[in-house]
Amino acid sequence: MSDQGPFGPIVNGTMVVVFYEYRPSQSAGFAFVALFALATLGHIIYLFPLRAWSFIPLILGGIAELFGYYGRAMSHDAPDKVGPWILQNLLILAAPPLISATLYMTLGRITSALGAGRYMPIGPGWLTALYVLIDIGTLGTQLAGSVLPASSDPAAIALSRKVVIGGLFGQLGALVIFILITWLVKHRIDKEPTRVILEDMTVRWKNHFRALMLVTLLIIVRSIVRAAEYLQGEGGTIMSNEVFIYLFDATLMWLVMVAFLVLHPGRLIRHARQLSRGDGSNFKRMSEVPLQPLI
């Protein structure tokens, strides 16, 4: 088989759907399998000591990412086979909504732990529930849009593009509003600190809000590039060059996971809850101890 694309299943001498415009890189695929495996392992290690149950979706997203890039690595030797292509297309599109779910829950948990629920536009519980519902809808569109092309039906392929683009723009809109809400809550706490913060002024709560806004921005950039990819379609600059998926999807999502390893909100939440119970004076200042990444 030639190294020159495009690659896809051929029926009666005609390529019914283009899987890749190039032969996927096996080394890049395996490199990100390793990177996402290590990042996911780090979050599993922190899950129980920090009781970070809201990070279960992120862990599932990390698992989806590593198997997605495994699919891309396998596509190097069989770029026209549907199995590896569906594996990578399905999981790489489905992983970001799972990771985003952890973002949405983290804002509510941090705000509640700091006693700053009144600074949110709506209650932390309602906001989290609303965003998780939006995220489930986004995840559903990504799952549906990623498997429809496997039917090789032109109408299904065209529909899949519209479904994926709709899901990406829906996620993009939700993320933009979310980053504005995060900034608003941080600004209000800055103007009027809560009792928990006043009890221990060394609590580095601002860093956690900055981290939330940073990782949200990374996912926004990823969503913009992926939406542009599907808008351009086959033969477009983004879909025709593999560097885009590794630079603007794999790398950005891996950085999101790493950022939460370096500055895990579970540490702040545990510290804030100790302070809110009034026994913060004897509690080790967790937020003052630098957290070393596990990867």
pLDDT for 110-145, tens place per residue?
A: 999 999 989 998 888 888 889 888 888 888 888 888
Predicted confidence band at 173 (pLDDT cuts at 50, 70, 90)?
very high
Please write the tens of the pLDDT for every residue from 43-72.
999 999 999 999 999 999 999 999 999 999
Please write the tens of the pLDDT for every residue from 185-244.
999 999 999 888 888 777 789 999 999 999 999 999 999 999 999 899 888 999 999 999
The span from the first CA to the last CA of the chain, in angstroms, equals 38
Predicted confidence band at 259 (pLDDT cuts at 50, 70, 90)?
very high
Predicted confidence band at 294 (pLDDT cuts at 50, 70, 90)?
very low
Check whether 292 has a pLDDT greater than 60: no
Query: By the 8 A CB rule, do 174 and 166 touch?
Result: no
Provide the pLDDT for residue 198: 86
Provide the pLDDT for residue 291: 42
* Cα–Cα distance, 248 to 243 (Å, whole number): 8
* Cα–Cα distance, 187 to 204 (Å, whole number): 15
Query: What is the helix (H) or strand (E) element at residue 7, kind and residue range?
Result: strand 4-7
